[in-house]
Amino acid sequence: MRVLHKMFRSTKSWDKLFNDATDFATSLDPEKLISISHSADSADGVVTVWYWGDPEHSPKCDYNLTGNKSGRCPECGTTV
């Protein structure tokens, strides 16, 4: 297991960013969630979800993604 992160970045609205981040965080196993942080970079808002995971496995369904090149889990459709 490693500490992983998924970054959400947008110039649009903080509401949308936080919604996207909380949707992703909600899809995680609760015990895998570490924290959610946010910051701003120029005009961009950046929200980052930090979680424990295995980079070779889908964060949502734990499907083994070794060798996956599409960037999308074939089981649940989560982008990885």
- Give the residue with the Cβ less far from Zn ion, 25 or 78: 78
Which residue's Cβ has the minimum distance to Zn ion?
A: 58
* 73 touching Zn ion, by CB under 5 A: yes
Q: Helices (H) and strands (E) in the chain — how many of each? A: 1, 3
From the CB of residue 29, how many other CB atoms can be counted at a distance below 10 Å?
12
Taking the complex as a whole, the smallest distance from the CB of residue 60 to Zn ion amounts, in Å, to: 5
For residue 69, the SS3 value is: coil
Name the token pair of 24.
């992703």
Name the token pair of 74.
């074939």
Choose one: 8-16, 35-43, 49-57, 66-74; the region binding Zn ion (CB under 5 A).
66-74
Taking the complex as a whole, the smallest distance from the CB of residue 25 to Zn ion amounts, in Å, to: 15
- Residues found near Zn ion in the complex (CB under 5 A): 58, 60-61, 63, 73, 75-76, 78
